[in-house]
Amino acid sequence: MAEILTLREAVQRFVNDGDTVALEGFTHLIPTAAGHEIIRQGKKELTLVRMTPDLVYDQLIGAGCAKKLIFSWGGNPGVGSLHRLRDAVEKQWPHALEIEEHSHADLANAYVAGASGLPFAVLRAYAGSDLPKVNPLIKPITCPFTGEKLVAVPSVRPDVTVIHAQKADRKGNVLVQGILGVQKEAVLAAKRAIVTVEEIVDDLNAPMNACVLPTWALSAVCVVPGGAHPSYAHGYSERDNRFYQAWDPIARGRESFTAWIDTYIRGTADFSEFQAKLAAQQEANQ
């Protein structure tokens, strides 16, 4: 059953060094605040999983929290490369990073298999692709009924999944609205799950066929308004396009990146203080 905790308490209790951690969200509802708190608390040796790692994973990798990345695409959306990810892979800074690359369909099915309690996922994929040459976990199999050639991949079962959502009720049930990625599957596949939300309400007023994550599937619910910034939260906040653009020069150099992390993440007590400091800096630059 979900407990309503501060984000600091949730990360302290449920994210351990060496864990496999998935921070999922697609286009919006990216759990940035939780990523920042993991950096603040100095968690290390993490295996990070995400279908589309973007800025928050660049920050986690550059801050030295990750030993491995399992992913299916990585970049700064609409801008370019993730420079801290590239530096870790190409030049082992701040230390070496192991990578395990999959296709979108592969990783999505791996989450579904994990949520279903299955050891692997089966899919039709990779015809003409070189990914199986660099990822030995992509295995060809033959259907025992039809003889069809298929592919199997290990299921994804995180120790901890973290997502952001619009709201929770006081029992810890969570409503996710707007574009969905694999948040539901990633939560159900995990041993523990943390959800940051915009607000807690008396009644979710969930429309028919809405995505509602039940309290029994979650470990903690944390109120963090704006916790998806710079991505947006449908119905609550807009995408901060300027930040995505500004991140490129910040992350390009080791010194500028480290200074930013020390000032805005390690140098703030929580995400609210981060937001205030960032807003003051953006206003000063106008």
| DSSP per-residue codes, the chain | --EE--HHHHHHHH--TT-EEEE--BSB---HHHHHHHHHTT--SEEEEESS--HHHHHHHHTT-EEEEEES--SBTTTB--HHHHHHHHH-SSS--EEEE--HHHHHHHHHHHHTT-SEEEES--TT-SHHHH-TT-EEEE-TTT--EEEEEEPP--SEEEEEEEEEETTS-EEE-SS--SHHHHHHHSSEEEEEEEEEES---PPTT-EEE-GGG-SEEEE-TTTTTTSBBTTTB---HHHHHHHHHHHHSHHHHHHHHHHHTTTSSSHHHHHHHHHHHHHHH-
> Quick one: CA dihedral 247, 269, 278, 235, positive or negative?
positive
State the pLDDT confidence band at 134, using cuts at 50, 70 and 90: very high
| Residue 260, domain member (yes or no) | yes
| Number of folded domains that form the chain | 2
| Residue 41, domain member (yes or no) | yes
Residues 150 and 174 in one domain: no
pLDDT of residue 216: 97
Residues 126 and 165 in one domain: no
| Residue 106, domain member (yes or no) | no
What mean pLDDT is reported for the chain? 96
State the pLDDT confidence band at 128, using cuts at 50, 70 and 90: confident
Residues 24 and 132 in one domain: no
Residues 8 and 75 in one domain: yes
**What b/e sequence results for 103-125 when a residue is b if at least 16 CB atoms lie within 10 Å of its CB, and e otherwise?**
bebbbbbbbbbbbeeeebbebeb
pLDDT, average across residues 44-52: 97
Residues 172 and 200 in one domain: yes
Residues 165 and 50 in one domain: yes
Whether the per-residue pLDDT at 285 is higher than 90: the answer is: no
Whether the per-residue pLDDT at 78 is higher than 80: the answer is: yes
CB 239 within 8 A of CB 230: yes
Whether the per-residue pLDDT at 284 is higher than 90: the answer is: no
pTM (2 d.p.): 0.96
What is the share, in percent, of the chain residues with pLDDT greater than 70?
100
Instruction: Please calculate the CA angle 271-276-279 and round it to the nearest 5 degrees.
Output: 120
Whether the per-residue pLDDT at 65 is higher than 90: the answer is: yes
Residues 125 and 161 in one domain: no
Tell me the pLDDT tens digit for each residue of 240-271: 999 999 999 999 999 999 999 999 999 999 99
Residues 145 and 161 in one domain: no
Residues 53 and 148 in one domain: no
| Residue 107, domain member (yes or no) | no
| Residue 109, domain member (yes or no) | no
Instruction: Tell me the residue range of the domain where 212 lies.
Output: 3-101+157-282
Residues 124 and 226 in one domain: no
Residues 127 and 74 in one domain: no
What is the share, in percent, of the chain residues with pLDDT greater than 90?
95
Whether the per-residue pLDDT at 187 is higher than 90: the answer is: yes
Residues 149 and 166 in one domain: no
pLDDT of residue 84: 98
pLDDT of residue 162: 98
pLDDT, average across residues 66-87: 96
The CATH number assigned to the domain holding 91 equals: 3.40.1080.10
